[in-house]
Each structure stands twice: as C-alpha cells, then as structure tokens.
Amino acid sequence: MATPPDVELDSDALRDHAVLLSDRSRDLQGSQFDLFLLDWAAPVSHPQVAAAMRRFCEFARDQYQDVIALLAALSTRVGSAGQGYEETDAATATQMNQFLSESRFLSADRRPG
C-alpha cells in the first residue's frame, strides 16, 4: 500500500488565491456582453436567424453568469478553507505549547501506579 504524499498548506497562498478568484469574477462580470447589441443585427437579418442568435446569446449569457457565480463561490470556499486552516493550526499550536510548558518529566520510578 502506497503512502499518500506529504501535503503542505500555506494559508497565505489560499488567501491570495481566494482574492485572485474574486478579482477574476469581478473582471468577468464587468466585461460580459449586453443582449441589446443583438437588436442591431435583428433588423438586417432573417427573423429566424435573429431569433436563433438571440436564443444562443441568451443561453451563452446565462452560462457566463453561472461561471461568474461559480468563481465567486469558489473564492469564498477557498478563503474559508484558509481561515479554517489558520484557526486549526493556531489551536494545535496553543495546545502543544500548553502541553510543553505545563508538563513535567517524572522518571519511571517516581510515576504513580
């Protein structure tokens, strides 16, 4: 049985990536196309072509908005994972420091029981 590889986690990197995902989501939100641009093409194209273009563009816009929402949600999850790691790491460090500072060594002959 193979042992899993060691995993190192850097909470600062997680936080940075969460901010990056949030920024990309915001950038994409601002650069999406407007459906009113199709109204310029509708008068010069066949009505069926114009209707097909509108359906396709509405579908594409919907998918685009879903990607933006997914990036924003992923940003939130990555950020909360980093925060959770920091909290767990701090709690573990506190417990370890408490154990080391409040413990005392007793030789085997001085231990009770």
pLDDT digits (tens, 9 = 90+) for 36-68: 777 776 677 788 888 888 898 889 889 999 999
pLDDT reported for residue 54? 86
Question: To which residue do tokens 């109204």 refer?
Answer: 39
Q: Which residues of the chain have pLDDT under 50?
A: none
Please, where are the H alpha helices in 1-113?
Answer: 11-30, 38-41, 47-102
Cα distances (angstroms) measured from residue 99 to each of 18, 90, 93: 34, 14, 10
To the nearest whole number, what is the mean pLDDT of the chain?
85
pLDDT reported for residue 4? 63
Phi first, then psi: what are they for 3, rounded to 5°? -85, 145
* Separation of first and last alpha carbons in the chain: 40
Is the pTM above the cut of 0.85? no
